[in-house]
Amino acid sequence: MHRFEKLQKTIGITFGKKKLLEMAFVHKSYVNESSDPNLKHNERLEFLGDAVLELIVTEYLYAHYDEPEGELTNWRSALVNGERLAEIAKELDLGAYLYLSHGEKKSGGDKKNYILANTFEALLGAIYLDQGYECSRDFVKKYVIGYLEEIIEKGLHRDAKSYFQEMAQEKLGITPEYRVLSQSGPDHRKMFTMAAFLKEEHVGTGTGFSKQNAEQSAAEDALKKKKWKSVDNEEPSPL
């Protein structure tokens, strides 16, 4: 059985160029260990897939919602952020198909969010090149845009960082601080892990493909752990 036969059945897409599909799963670390001088990693496909994803989501939001630009931008960000894409990649079991170096495999690279998110985008880039825009759009609508209703209903697009600051100042008279815990991944797509602090109390942790996104994630985590009002419409909990 071809390595990717199950995946093609899962997503309902049969690739004409199997090498293109295979390239979507070749991590840079694998190329560094390979003796094949013609082997290419997936970062260029990821670059393309990122642009295709943003266009498809933007086009969909524009066509279906008559909201202000700022609101549409927030919805789009919530749909295409790294954490969301990593979760979708896990649903599709993309990690099982990755070509990783021995070291990356040993360190659990097939489960790392930034690698999974990048792989999802590389897969989309491969779909676009092999099958065209309409097939790419159907794929994104099925696996990404399907989360939009939940995002809107639960207010997952709202600015958790600003709200956390308001609550911290109101309840404790403290302005939150954010510190970098770690960063990993290629220069053009670094994954940051940030911590939210109230003075010296570590109250939340989050990850993202920028420090700002990671801080938002850390603020959301802090709101939950402090049992303060979340970014949806729940009532605030007492101190």
Contacts of 142 (CB under 8 A, 6+ apart): none
| Cα gap 40→24, rounded to integer Å | 9
Number of H helices, E strands in the chain: 12, 3
Tokens found for residue 136: 């790419």
| Cα gap 167→174, rounded to integer Å | 9
* First-to-last C-alpha distance (Å) of the chain: 58
Tokens found for residue 15: 């690739």
Catalytically annotated residues? 50, 121
Instruction: List strands edge to edge, sheet with 201-208.
Output: 177-184, 191-198, 201-208
